[in-house]
């Protein structure tokens, strides 16, 4: 059982819900529960896409500073990689993932959102990596995923200054993908995720593996990853269904089974 993070499933869409009032501070327990829920979402065949949601008022305002304030180097060094794994747990889910962000997504909160494939935010959202104001740097993937997403210059500006970025600026620099009214955020995320509920699950996983794996290596190796994933899908039932449906009925009419 988890206390602060839950996975709820409805019509193929899983929602990983952060619920540690008032600000969803991401202490070590929450980080471990994120790993647990990400693993469950990965294993469950009835989960085809995943939303991460912090509620109507806030996504997550960062790591639990009170918990970290008393830690020494010898305390942090053995657990730093585990912290990074917890805040980045959603990135390991081989399915489409969407962060549904209202209010603050700061520090570890933004790092959780960065681990998703897509970010849909309310026009009241404030995003940032203010760890520098505490005398440290982002430790949950912020320096790496942020730079890959918006480029090193913009990432350095956000990390160096610790400033908060509003929704419209975040959209302009590619930090987020959609801006809607705060009370529409979750419904919009569900609408986006639902299009994958009956899709070719193995193909989504292969696409995610190829894109993410290719970004971590050179072009030639990335092309090899793509080729291996492409060829592997010819062993899937969905490939047979998809191609036979295309030949007989045209595009977009296949009824996939996820195998």
The Cα–Cα gap between 78 and 7 comes to 28
Per-residue pLDDT of the chain (259 residues; tens, 9 = 90+): 899 999 999 999 999 999 999 999 999 999 999 999 999 999 999 999 999 999 999 999 998 999 999 999 999 999 999 999 999 999 999 999 999 999 999 999 999 999 999 999 999 999 999 999 999 999 999 999 999 999 999 999 999 999 999 999 999 999 999 999 999 999 999 999 999 999 999 999 999 999 999 999 999 999 999 999 999 999 999 999 999 999 999 999 999 999 9
Query: From 1.10.12, 3.10.530, 1.20.120, 1.10.1660, which CATH number describes the 201-249 domain?
Result: 1.10.12
Name the residue with tokens 């529960």.
33
Model pTM score: 0.95
Active-site residue, 32 included? no
In degrees and rounded to multiples of 5, residue 133 shows phi and psi of -70, -15
The Cα–Cα gap between 181 and 171 comes to 14
Name the residue with tokens 């489409």.
96
| In the chain, domain spans | 5-194, 201-249
Residue 189 burial by CB count (10 A; 0-12/13-18/19+): exposed, middle or buried? buried
Active-site residue, 226 included? no
- Which one from 131, 184, 237, 248 is the annotated catalytic residue? 131
Strand 49-53 to 97-101 pairing: parallel
- Which one from 111, 168, 237, 248 is the annotated catalytic residue? 111
CATH fold label, 5-194: 2-enoyl-CoA Hydratase; Chain A, domain 1 (3.90.226)
């Amino acid at each position: 059982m988890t206390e602060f993070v839950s996975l709820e499933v409805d019509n193929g869409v899983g929602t990983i819900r952060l619920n540690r009032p008032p600000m969803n501070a991401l202490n070590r327990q929450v980080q471990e529960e994120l790993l647990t829920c990400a693993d469950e979402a990965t294993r469950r065949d009835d989960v085809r896409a995943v939303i991460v949601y912090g509620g109507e008022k806030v996504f997550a305002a960062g790591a639990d500073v009170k918990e970290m304030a008393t830690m020494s180097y010898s305390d942090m060094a053995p657990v730093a990689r585990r912290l990074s794994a917890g805040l980045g747990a959603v990135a390991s889910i081989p399915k489409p993932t969407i962060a549904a962000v209202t209010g603050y997504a700061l520090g570890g909160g933004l790092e959780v959102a960065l681990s998703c494939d897509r970010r849909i935010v309310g026009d009241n959202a404030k995003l940032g990596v203010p760890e520098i104001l505490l005398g440290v740097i982002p430790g949950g993937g912020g320096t790496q995923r942020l730079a890959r997403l918006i480029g090193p210059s913009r990432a350095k500006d956000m990390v160096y200054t610790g400033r908060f970025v509003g929704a419209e600026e975040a959209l302009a620099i590619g930090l987020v993908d959609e801006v809607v009214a705060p009370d529409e955020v979750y419904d919009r995320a569900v609408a986006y995720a639902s299009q994958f509920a009956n899709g070719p699950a193995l193909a989504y996983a292969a696409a995610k593996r190829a894109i993410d794996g290719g970004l971590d290596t050179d072009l030639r190796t990335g092309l090899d990853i793509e080729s291996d994933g492409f060829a592997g899908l010819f062993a899937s039932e969905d490939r047979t269904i998809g191609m036979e449906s295309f030949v007989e009925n045209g595009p977009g009419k296949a009824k996939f089974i996820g195998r």
